[in-house]
């Protein structure tokens, strides 16, 4: 009797988990089959996590995919994996360290010399720590926002030449907790909680940047979209305290999306026809969403743009 009750309890638990997984955890799937043959894509952080899953999907669609990554060994390993799994040999590694503005400029110059096209730019890479970058900025703010701001600026003329083209910015629902304090947002911080707040601030910056970028791109046939990938089990959590990992990792495995499911909204915004009129808007679960009011503040977005220009050395 006890064994039967245990089996019944297990079956009920599995059933409830399946219900939870398919309705709340897994998320929507990008269902279009758009071909990307003849198109070139750059994905930052494409060697792991959501970026690698996105790169694999776009490679399967026939795109020429550039993995812009910091770690050469891991980047080249990812290239081999994606080539093998997609059957597409037009997958390449190029070195890019978003913690260094010099590296961003070097990457952009090398890319523009070697690649005649850029049709899709996916600003995917991210970190969750607020420690100091090599340029002296808050690492999350620089990697997640400032360096992508600079990279997009340096590559934008090529995208205009190849229009219609798209910029996809991997933001997050964490923008809801973000704050833009121009006196402090760029300053390094210590500690887990401060790092999490820095991450949220940078994701709000992603949202505002995408909004202002869309305004400035109006009439160019280059469009841009901010996306929330969902809660995904990625290396973003590598900065979790060691003593928390034994508790945290099983929860991640059970209740967070895998990277393939987490990549779906990025893929959707990179490939879906008919969403051009929503340039500058926010997508989650392959669907248009309205972010919190402070992520729709046009005056704040314009000021952030101007401050970002000065921080990366673009201001006149």
What residues are labeled active site? 199
Contacts of 125 (CB under 8 A, 6+ apart): 44, 45, 51, 68, 69, 98, 143, 144, 148
Specify whether the CB–CB gap between 268 and 283 falls below 8 A.
yes
Report the alpha-carbon distance of residue 18 to residue 125 in Å, rounded: 30
């Amino acid at each position: 009797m006890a064994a039967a009750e245990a089996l019944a309890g297990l079956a009920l638990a599995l059933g409830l988990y399946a219900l939870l997984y398919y309705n709340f955890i897994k998320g929507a799937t990008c269902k279009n089959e758009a071909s990307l043959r003849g198109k070139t894509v750059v994905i930052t952080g494409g060697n792991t996590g959501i970026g690698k899953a996105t790169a694999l999907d776009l490679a399967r669609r026939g795109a020429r995919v550039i993995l812009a990554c910091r770690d050469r060994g891991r980047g080249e390993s990812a290239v081999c994996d994606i080539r093998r799994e997609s059957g597409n040999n037009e997958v390449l590694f190029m070195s890019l360290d978003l913690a260094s503005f010099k590296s961003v400029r070097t990457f952009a110059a090398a890319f523009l010399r070697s690649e005649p096209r850029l049709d899709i730019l996916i600003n995917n890479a991210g970190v969750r720590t607020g420690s100091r970058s090599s340029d002296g900025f808050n690492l999350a703010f620089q990697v997640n926002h400032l360096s992508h701001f600079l990279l997009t600026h340096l590559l934008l003329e090529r995208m205009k030449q190849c229009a219609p083209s798209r910029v996809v910015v991997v933001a997050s629902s964490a923008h809801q907790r973000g704050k833009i304090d121009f006196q402090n947002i760029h300053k390094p911080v210590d500690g887990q909680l401060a790092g999490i707040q820095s991450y949220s601030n940078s994701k709000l910056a992603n949202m505002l940047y995408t909004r202002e970028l869309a305004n400035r791109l109006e009439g160019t046939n280059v469009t841009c979209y901010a996306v929330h990938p969902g809660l995904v089990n990625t290396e973003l959590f590598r900065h979790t305290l060691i003593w928390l990992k034994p508790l945290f990792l099983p929860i991640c495995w059970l209740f967070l999306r895998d990277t393939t499911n987490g990549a779906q909204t990025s893929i959707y915004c990179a490939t879906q026809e008919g969403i051009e009129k929503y340039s500058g808007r926010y997508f989650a679960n392959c669907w248009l969403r309205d972010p919190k009011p402070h992520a729709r503040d046009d005056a704040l977005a314009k000021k952030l743009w101007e401050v970002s220009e000065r921080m990366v050395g673009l201001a006149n």
